[in-house]
Amino acid sequence: MLAGGRAARLGTPKPGVVVGGRPLLEHALAATRGARRTVVVGPEDLAAPGRYVLTREDPPFGGPVAGIAAGLAALPDDGAAPWVLVLACDVPGAARAVPALLDAARRRTHDEAGVLAVRDGREQWLVGLYERAALDAALAALPTAHGASVRRLLADLPVLGVPDDDGATDDVDTWEDAREHDRRLGADARPAPGHPDDTRRSG
């Protein structure tokens, strides 16, 4: 799970932004239930021993491909989990999208190395299930993961697209996006309680 971006348009770290009554990170973690192991790629203040493995790309802020590489490096390469869910932390509806990805993975052809959500004709690369071996090979083919685009990493993989018709993969890049998700969920978007940007905290 990728949770280490700068979130320049929000002005506050995305993982702690509260949407629908829960921080974005918690929405994303809910989507990983049932996974053998969950790795969060992000800063040290996200540490939660026993809940998931926390790691970070080096140097930080290397972009999502560097984050994917760091996440894979933190996963045992023992063949026990041949599929990897790649998920950005800013997708509050991810838990609705993942069951469709799992279903698609079961009916894919053997030539397809992954399944990903497609929203309004656009591939949602960071809401996808991919074969571990295919991700490793794609990363090895890049000159560097730092600063590389996700499209460059994944565009040549044969994948099965899964239509997202109800906006489960809509992300949160701005406060307007957050308020729209809250409108859907009937709650109030804000930074996590106690964060310096949380102007609604008591006192």
Say yes or no: domain 14-185 is CATH 3.90.550.10. yes
pLDDT by 10s per residue, the chain, length 203: 999 888 888 888 999 999 999 999 999 999 999 899 999 999 999 999 999 999 999 999 999 999 999 999 999 888 878 999 999 999 999 999 999 999 999 988 888 999 999 999 999 999 999 999 999 999 999 999 999 999 999 989 999 999 999 999 999 999 999 999 988 887 666 665 544 444 443 33
- Check: CB of residue 68 under 8 Å from CB of residue 132: no
pLDDT at 192: 58
pLDDT at 80: 76
Domain ranges within the chain, ordered by starting residue? 14-185
SS3 for the chain is CECCCCCCCCCCCHHHCEECCEEHHHHHHHHCCCCCCCEEECCHHHCCCCCCEEECCCCCCCCHHHHHHHHHHCCCCCCCCCEEEEEECCCCCHHHHHHHHHHHHHHCCCCCCEEEEEECCEEEEEEEEEEHHHHHHHHHCCCCCCCCCHHHHHCCCCEEEEECCCCCCCCCCCHHHHHHHHHHHCCCCECCCCCCCCCCCCC
- Check: CB of residue 132 under 8 Å from CB of residue 83: yes
Distances (CA, A) of 27 to 17, 119, 122, 201: 11, 19, 22, 21
Q: Are strands 53-55 and 39-41 parallel, antiparallel or unpaired?
A: parallel
Alpha-carbon dihedral sign for residues 73, 25, 117, 175: negative
pLDDT at 86: 97
* Amino acid present at 40: V
Q: Which positions ≥6 away from 3 have C-beta within 8 Å?
A: 14, 15, 25, 28, 40, 41, 42, 46, 89
* CA–CA separation, 26 and 5 (whole Å): 16
* CA–CA separation, 67 and 58 (whole Å): 9
